[in-house]
Structure 1
Amino acid sequence: MSIKSLAARKDSLSKPERQLEILDNGLFSEAELPRFSEKLAETGNFPLKPGKLEVLQLNLGYMCNQVCSHCHVDAGPDRKEIMTRETMEKCLEVIRKTSAHTLDLTGGAPEMNPNFRWFVEQASKAGIRDFIVRSNLTIILANKKYYDLPEFFKKYNVHVVSSLPFYKKEKTDKQRGNGVFDKSIRVLQMLNEVGYAQEGTGLKLDLVYNPAGAFLPTNQEAMEQDFKKALKTDFNIDFNSLFAITNLPISRFLEYLIASDNYEDYMYELVNAYNPEAVKNVMCTNTISVSWDGWLYDCDFNQMLELKVASTVKHVSEYNEQALQDREIIISQHCYGCTAGAGSSCQGTVA
């Protein structure tokens, strides 16, 4: 069965199950793609085990005001999955006792969760060192109720990590939708105006770059300098760091790869760029990902494939950090994306 035939199957399989079957059993024209577990074993990294827990990442829901072509969450305005206040209460219990130093709120657009502000207020009291909110920026201009978010973020010293595919309008709008670039620029200016990325404020503003096609990101440091120069020159915008993140072959990006006949080439590119040094710092070794409904995952990519942690503890309501430390990390072929080249994580390159 061809890749496109696998992708088009209409049977009892859910979308995550169908995508896993493509990743695990997809046919290649030249040679069989080596298993990721085999690559790990060749370099002495199998089984993959967690290190010290540093990041607790919570997905507050898949609802978003944008529908981006590369989105690994399949987020959009029509998604109804939202973390409830009850699940948030369970997460707060974990935050108060976790050894992790970073709380990372993501989505969709996490700001669209109706309990978002309440949760930020409560979580900020827990003593987490780095409090991240991953924002698509445009949500701040989507509705008047969001207009004051830059001041709200400042009040709670939120570390804002913002999506910006490129420093030029054409590429950004192609990937994220018409008008997104202009709105993103305005919101970055608003964040600068309240003190973000300004000397002496301690308010951190980082940008995230994802490639717009079936290729790996180039050197992160060089790209950061290009972004800083262009945004400062053209719009007087400052930011702290740029994170270059590889697009993993799951969700919408996997669908794009298959539809454009790029899947096979892209997978071989990831395999050929495998870097054992990147394995040491992949995000699944220092992160626990919590889904909108409280299930626990090694990372948010596994969350999208519904690959729960291999532990007796699988839900935030029964959270036990020691039990989770004893697990083996669940892997599949998509994991090549995090170990290709300089590696990739939610904090950018890792090697």
Structure 2
Amino acid sequence: MATNTPPSLLSRRAPLASPATQLETLHRLKLPREFDAALREAGLHPLRPTKLDIFQMNLGKMCNQTCRHCHVDAGPDRREVMSRETMEQCLAALAKTAIPTVDLTGGAPEMNPHFRWLVEEVRKLGRQVMDRCNLTILETAPHADLPEFFARHRVEVVCSLPHYRALNTDKQRGEGVYEKSIRALKRLNALGYGDGQSGLRLVLVTNPVGAFLPAGQASLEAEWKRELLKNHGIRFDSLFTITNMPISRFLEWLEQSGNLSAYLERLVTAFNPAAALGVMCRNTLSVGWDGQLYDCDFNQMLELPVEAGAPRHIRDFDLTKLEARAIVTDRHCFGCTAGAGSSCGGATT
């Protein structure tokens, strides 16, 4: 576990460990308009899925880090992990579809005891695997050989790194995280990841360190590529910028720092109809660690399941019904539609 980071909200018995309390906190604020009203004005209500391209599985809330901005409230003190049985149900559902990409997330998904088996089974189905990796997990003894495992199975590695500088990274993630992350990136590079030729795709993901929106993704990517190459000889394929969502531990920080009202108003004011067209919930199905189905990972953490009438557990998977559903929205959704937008694939415009 990284140092200088707090335990999870759940282990502290903090009020905001409750998804209901998080929603109540957001709804106490006076906002210029509601999210559904913004969608109506843009001619997008109700928001509905496009073709499902991404099957996202949250393998659990256990993590080797306790990051200050984490919307999952993940950490070493969390014990929720997806079972082998639920994974088998996911594989059975996936086999009935042509969904091309399986997105593995957490927590640290690699800490699930069935992680490697799952990757191998998904690859047998001919689907691409994306692993959302915090990098420092590759520095732990049980997971030290994962870079080679990733390369062998052609896994796309999507790595979270708050900044290309140590100060900003360690401020958000804990002392020493930056140094470990750089070592892990160098190991991935040594295997061909990020070289643009091997086909081993390496993506970095950054969240702002503070109560503001990320800068333009294209300009940031150029800056990050220049600085990481110059300072560490590191190469990567793409940079994704993701807005910090006003839920869980980031919501607690916003409240404690007096930034909550201004941040939410900033998100509402920056609503972009073009960004709303590309949000992750339109082409992604999110499967919780317990098999429950959600429109996105953020709704999952707020325990907002898919709408009534659509299958709500992976054992009842029905692609036709799921693609016909209306997407469940609330005030936190302004986080994905502000400015250039935000999704699991970075900016949406």
TM-score by length of 1: 0.93
Write the distance in 2 (CA, Å) between the matches of 1:45 and 1:200: 40
2:305 equivalent to 1:305:
no
* Matches of 1:278 and 1:93, distance apart in 2: 33
Work out which of the residue numbers 171, 190, 198 in structure 1 matches 2:187.
190
Residue 112 of structure 2 is matched in structure 1 by 113
Q: 1:240 to 1:199 in 2, by over 3 A?
A: closer
Please name the residue that 1:223 is paired with. Answer: 220
- The separation in 1 between residues aligned to 2:278 and 2:106, in whole angstroms, is 23
How far off its partner does 1:200 sit?
2.2
Deviation at 1:169, TM superposition (A): 0.5
Deviation of the 1:95 alpha carbon? 1.8
Cα distance in 2 for partners of 1:12, 1:180 equals 28
- The aligned counterpart of 1:22 is 25
Q: Structure 2: which amino acid aligns with 1:75?
A: A
Q: Are the counterparts in 2 of residues 36 and 336 from structure 1 also a CA contact under 8 Å?
A: yes
Letter aligned with residue 189 of structure 1 = K
Query: Counterpart of 1:339?
Result: 337
Are 2:16 and 2:248, in contact at CA under 8 Å, matched by a contact in 1? no
**Which of 172, 176, 179 in structure 2 is aligned with 1:179?**
176
Residue 65 of structure 2 aligns to which amino acid in structure 1? Q
> Is 1:271 aligned with 2:268?
yes
Cα deviation for residue 153 of structure 1 reads 0.1
Counterpart of 2:40 in structure 1 is 41
Q: CA deviation at 1:236?
A: 0.5
Give the 3-state SS of the residue equivalent to 1:264 in structure 2: helix
- Structure 2: segments with no counterpart, 5+ residues: 1-12
- Over 3 Å counting, the alpha-carbon distance change for 1:346 and 1:141 in structure 2 is same
Question: Are 1:320 and 2:318 counterparts?
Answer: yes
* AA matched with 2:215: T
CA distance in 2, matches of 1:192, 1:205: 9
Name 1:7's counterpart in structure 2. none
1:49 and 1:327 in contact (8 A); partners too: yes
Query: Residue in 2 aligned with 1:280?
Result: 277
Does the CA contact (< 8 Å) of 1:23 and 1:332 recur in 2? Answer: no
Q: Structure 2: how far apart are the matches of 1:291 and 1:27?
A: 29
Aligned to 1:69: 68
CA distance in 1, matches of 2:335, 2:17: 23
How far off its partner does 1:11 sit?
A: 12
Aligned residues: 336
AA partner of residue 244 (structure 2): N
Give per-residue Cα distances to partners, 1:189-226, cap 9 Å, x unaligned: 00000110124210000000100100000011111111
Q: Give the C-alpha shift of residue 334 in structure 1.
A: 0.3
Answer whether contact 1:62 1:79 (CA < 8 A) is retained: yes
Q: In structure 2, what is the Cα distance between the partners aligned to 1:21 and 1:334?
A: 11
Instruction: Give the drift of 1:59.
Output: 0.3
Q: For residue 259 of structure 1, what is the aligned residue in structure 2?
A: 256
Structure 1 residue ranges (4+ consecutive) displaced by more than 6 angstroms after TM superposition: 10-14
Q: If the length of structure 2 is used for normalisation, what is the TM-score?
A: 0.94
SS of match in other structure, 1:206: strand
Maintained 8 Å contact 2:54/2:284: yes
Residues 194 and 201, structure 2, Cα contact 8 Å, conserved in 1 = yes
Q: Distance in 2 between matches of 1:12 and 1:22?
A: 10
**Alpha-carbon distance change, 12 to 281 in structure 1, aligned in 2, over 3 angstroms:** closer
**Aligned AA (1:344):** S
Query: Which one-letter code corresponds to 1:134 in the other structure?
Result: R
**2:100 maps to 1:98:** no
Give me the whole-angstrom Cα distance separating, in 2, the residues matched to 1:110 and 1:301: 16
Q: Is the 8 A contact 2:16 2:22 kept in 1?
A: no
Say which is worse superposed, 205-214 or 10-19, in terms of deviation.
Answer: 10-19
Q: Which amino acid aligns with 1:44?
A: G
C-alpha separation in 1, matches of 2:29 and 2:289: 33
The letter of the residue matching 2:272 is N
3-state SS of 2:151 partner: helix
Identity %: 54
Distance 1:199 1:37, change over 3 A: closer
**Structure 1 CA distance, aligned partners of 2:16 and 2:168?**
35
Contact 1:298–1:330 under 8 Å retained in 2: yes
Please give the alpha-carbon distance, in whole angstroms, between the structure 2 residues aligned to 1:82 and 1:319: 20
Equivalent AA in structure 2 for residue 329 of structure 1? I
Residue correspondence of structure 1 range 120-131 to structure 2 within 5 A: 120-128=119-127, 130-131=128-129
